């Protein structure tokens, strides 16, 4: 009991400190800036019908004529906030203030009329129509007084607009035939054609090559000169520093702070993004790596945009060792995990487990080969939200003789008692194992995933984003468990966008950039976050020989 209350006080203290820290930048900016905001949210909250609170009393403000960066990890609530501003979602409480007038958008049409445009991450274009037709769709120019569509006028409008904003597009080409970056330019032009003064760009660089990204930045700066206001969502900090005037940070649905880019360093922002105030030291002994159990060679993958997401990646996992994968999100880590676990097929190379070739095996085959997998997205892949905790825990083993008897009948008592045991061991806080997983908090949901995968009797664990969006107490618990699994002789691949986490848990490290492994460190303690940063951003690269050591082959 005393420990419990102490813990409670601790949590409140931490919350209070965080609050103060979150409020601090505001006090400061309020003093020195007497600017009017063009767009504001006041204490805006959004709760989805399933109870997820994606935005928690968010105060967000945009200065006219600026490029405002909005950063935060996946699931921090950036996209939800933008959807609310663009009228695609209705806020649950709070209000939106546009040019000092309170507004309520019932659809994105209203937002467009009010001068807000949005470019989605996934483009909203008709592939079989020409760029000009797409641009004017919904507001087509007519031939004289008839109601016939005037293609020539549409082309003229497109070319004029393109010239004005220096966004070059082929007006007559069909959307299917042009590059991703030109489609994006078209999306921006579409918003401008509809009179957007405020442009929201949702992770526009995610689909672009570095050269195209540079080009986009030049164009966006030109738009700023024209007096447009831009909200730029990204989780790549270098882009924020290159382009933005101010940056707002979101975490866990809350607005953590807003800074002038000139006054802040990337460390502060990344601290705010991932909550580094509570760095947890991980207690662990030295690793004793054993035999190789998994070898992957030359894995490649090209995504739907035609971008090479994975480019001839090779690595090996050894018993009793955690191999960490470091990299900025979206540099091939997810694809690597999906291929290793059988969820995606590789275009080249091979995967071997225990000397057996399992290239492009199905997820079930990989599991039977002794691989357990903590998926990076527990909401859409790692759990079945409407199903009970028990059913979720049994999903990879229900068919085994312990749980399925003769004639295919489930041994429900065995399932129930095994589930109850896992719930207790992994401290899953719930009212009953029959409760749907969707009703649990993020941390407990993750414990369901970990409880299942760590009791799967596997000797290889592929762990992706084990603590994303999880509360501090659960993080500590999960970290301890991962170390325990290593000490029990499991071979572990750990992928996390939390650099601190990978560095403190891993025994050895690889760094990924643009789908390639660019560095290998056989001792994770021998490097620093600064050095890793250079590799992560692609500024430094090891020689193929150095990288090749990750395969642990005797020359």
Partner 1 sequence: MKSNKSKSRGLFGTIGLFFTDRDKLEPALITFLAAIFSILMGVGLIFIVSKDPVTSTKNFLLGPVLRTYNFYYLMIAMVPITFTGLALCIIYQLRYTSLIVDSSFYTGAIIATAIGVKLSLPAGLHPAVAMLAAGLAGGLIGLLPAILRIKWRANELVSSLMFNYIFYFIGSFVILYYLRDRNQTILASLPFQSTFSLPKLVQNTQLHAGFIIAAVFVVLVSIFLFRTRWGYEIRITGANPKFAAYAGIPVASVALYAHFVSGFIGGLGGAVEMTGLYKSFIWQMNPSYAWDGVIVAMLARKNPKFVPISAFFLAYLRVGADFMSRRGDVAFEFITLLQGLIILILASDKIVNYFKARRLRKNALLAESAVRGVAPKGGEA
Minimum distance, C-beta of residue 107 to partner 1, in the bound complex (Å):
14
One character per residue 73-112, x = contact with partner 1 (rule: CB under 8 A): -----------------xxxxxx--------x--------
Among 64, 65, 141, 436, binds partner 1 (CB under 8 A): 436
From 384, 439, 376, 382, select the one nearest 52 (Cα to Cα).
439
Nearer to partner 1, 144 or 408 (CB): 408
User: Angle at Cα 208 formed by Cα 303 and Cα 115, nearest 5°?
Assistant: 120
If binding is defined by CB under 8 A, does position 434 make contact with partner 1? yes
Among the listed ranges 207-215, 398-406, 503-511, 544-552, the one in contact with partner 1 (CB under 8 A) is: 398-406
Check if the beta carbon of residue 287 is closer than 8 Å to that of residue 490: no
Among the listed ranges 38-46, 66-74, 220-228, 346-354, the one in contact with partner 1 (CB under 8 A) is: 38-46
Minimum distance, C-beta of residue 25 to partner 1, in the bound complex (Å):
17
Backbone angles phi, psi at 139, to 5 degrees: -135, 60
Rounded CA separation 29/260 (Å): 9
Secondary structure, 3-state, 327-338: CCCCCCHHHHHH
Among 166, 168, 425, 432, binds partner 1 (CB under 8 A): 432
Among 383, 459, 504, 514, binds partner 1 (CB under 8 A): 383
Nearer to partner 1, 209 or 359 (CB): 359
Among 74, 108, 404, 542, binds partner 1 (CB under 8 A): 404
If binding is defined by CB under 8 A, does position 547 make contact with partner 1? no
Total residues at interface with partner 1 (CB under 8 A): 63
Nearer to partner 1, 56 or 540 (CB): 56
Nearer to partner 1, 181 or 392 (CB): 392
Nearer to partner 1, 271 or 439 (CB): 439
If binding is defined by CB under 8 A, does position 37 make contact with partner 1? no
- Pairing mode, if any, of strands 308-318 and 371-374? unpaired
Check if the beta carbon of residue 477 is closer than 8 Å to that of residue 507: no
- Pairing mode, if any, of strands 292-302 and 308-318? antiparallel
Restricted to residues 41-80, the positions that interact with partner 1 (CB under 8 A) are 42-43, 45, 47, 49-53, 56-57
Minimum distance, C-beta of residue 40 to partner 1, in the bound complex (Å):
13
| Pure H helices in 437-526 | 442-454, 472-487, 499-505
C-alpha separations of 413 from 74, 409, 420 in Å: 39, 12, 10
Among 10, 20, 399, 539, binds partner 1 (CB under 8 A): 399
- Pairing mode, if any, of strands 67-71 and 246-251? parallel
Among 195, 210, 290, 386, binds partner 1 (CB under 8 A): 386
Residue 454: both structure tokens together? 């760590």
Residue 535 belongs to what H/E stretch? helix 529-536
Residue-by-residue DSSP string for 20-63: HHHHHHHHHHHHH--PPPSEEEEEEEEE-TTS-EEEEEEEEEE-
- Given the rule CB under 8 A, which residues bind partner 1? 1, 3-4, 15, 19, 42-43, 45, 47, 49-53, 56-57, 90-95, 104, 341, 343, 362-368, 373, 375, 380-387, 391-392, 394-396, 398-399, 403-404, 407-410, 412, 430-432, 434-436, 439
């Amino acid at each position: 009991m005393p420990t419990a209350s102490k813990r409670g006080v601790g949590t409140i203290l931490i919350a209070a400190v965080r609050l103060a820290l979150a409020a601090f930048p505001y006090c400061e900016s309020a003093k020195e800036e007497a600017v009017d905001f063009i767009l504001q949210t006041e204490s805006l909250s959004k709760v989805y019908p399933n109870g997820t609170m994606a935005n928690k009393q968010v105060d967000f403000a945009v200065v006219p004529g600026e490029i405002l960066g909005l950063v935060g990890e996946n699931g921090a609530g950036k996209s939800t906030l933008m959807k609310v501003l663009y009228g695609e979602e209705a806020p649950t409480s709070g209000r939106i203030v546009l040019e000092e007038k309170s507004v309520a958008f019932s659809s994105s049409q209203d937002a467009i009329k009010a001068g807000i445009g949005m470019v989605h991450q996934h483009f909203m274009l008709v592939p079989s129509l020409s760029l000009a037709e797409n641009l004017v769709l919904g507001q087509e120019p007519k031939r004289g007084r008839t109601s016939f569509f005037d293609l020539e006028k549409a082309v003229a409008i497109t070319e004029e607009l393109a010239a004005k904003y220096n966004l070059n597009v082929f007006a007559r080409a069909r959307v299917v035939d042009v590059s991703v970056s030109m489609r994006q330019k078209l999306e921006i032009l579409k918003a401008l054609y509809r009179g957007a003064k405020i442009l929201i760009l949702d992770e526009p660089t995610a689909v672009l090559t570095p050269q195209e990204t540079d080009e986009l930045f030049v164009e966006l700066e030109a738009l700023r000169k024209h007096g447009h206001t831009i909200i730029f969502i990204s989780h790549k900090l270098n882009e924020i520093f290159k382009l933005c005037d101010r940056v707002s940070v979101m975490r866990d649905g809350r607005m953590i702070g807003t800074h002038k880019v000139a006054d802040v360093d990337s460390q502060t922002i990344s601290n705010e993004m991932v909550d580094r105030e509570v760095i947890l030291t991980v207690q662990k002994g030295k690793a004793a790596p054993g035999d190789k159990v998994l070898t992957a060679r030359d894995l490649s993958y090209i995504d739907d945009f035609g971008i090479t997401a994975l480019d001839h990646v090779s690595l090996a996992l050894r018993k009793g060792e955690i191999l960490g994968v470091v990299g900025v999100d979206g540099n091939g880590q997810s694809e690597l995990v999906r291929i290793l676990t059988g969820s995606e097929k590789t275009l080249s190379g091979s995967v071997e487990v225990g000397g057996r070739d399992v290239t492009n095996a199905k997820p079930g085959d990989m599991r039977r080969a002794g691989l357990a997998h903590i998926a990076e997205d527990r909401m859409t892949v790692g759990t079945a939200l409407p199903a009970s905790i028990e059913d979720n825990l049994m999903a990879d083993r229900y068919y085994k003789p312990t749980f399925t008897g003769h004639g295919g009948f489930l041994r429900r008592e065995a399932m129930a008692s095994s589930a109850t045991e896992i719930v207790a061991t992994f401290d899953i806080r719930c009212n009953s194992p029959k409760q749907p997983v969707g009703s649990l908090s993020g941390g407990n949901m993750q414990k369901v995933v970990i409880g299942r995968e760590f009791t799967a009797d596997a000797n290889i664990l592929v762990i992706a984003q084990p603590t994303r969006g999880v509360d501090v107490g659960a993080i500590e618990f999960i970290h301890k468990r991962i170390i325990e699994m290593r000490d029990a002789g499991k071979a572990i691949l750990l992928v996390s966008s939390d650099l601190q986490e990978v560095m403190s848990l891993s025994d050895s490290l690889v760094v990924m950039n643009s789908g390639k492994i660019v560095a290998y460190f056989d001792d994770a303690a021998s490097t620093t976050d600064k050095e890793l940063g250079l590799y992560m951003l692609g500024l430094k690269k090891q020689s193929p020989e150095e990288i090749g050591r990750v395969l642990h082959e005797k020359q």
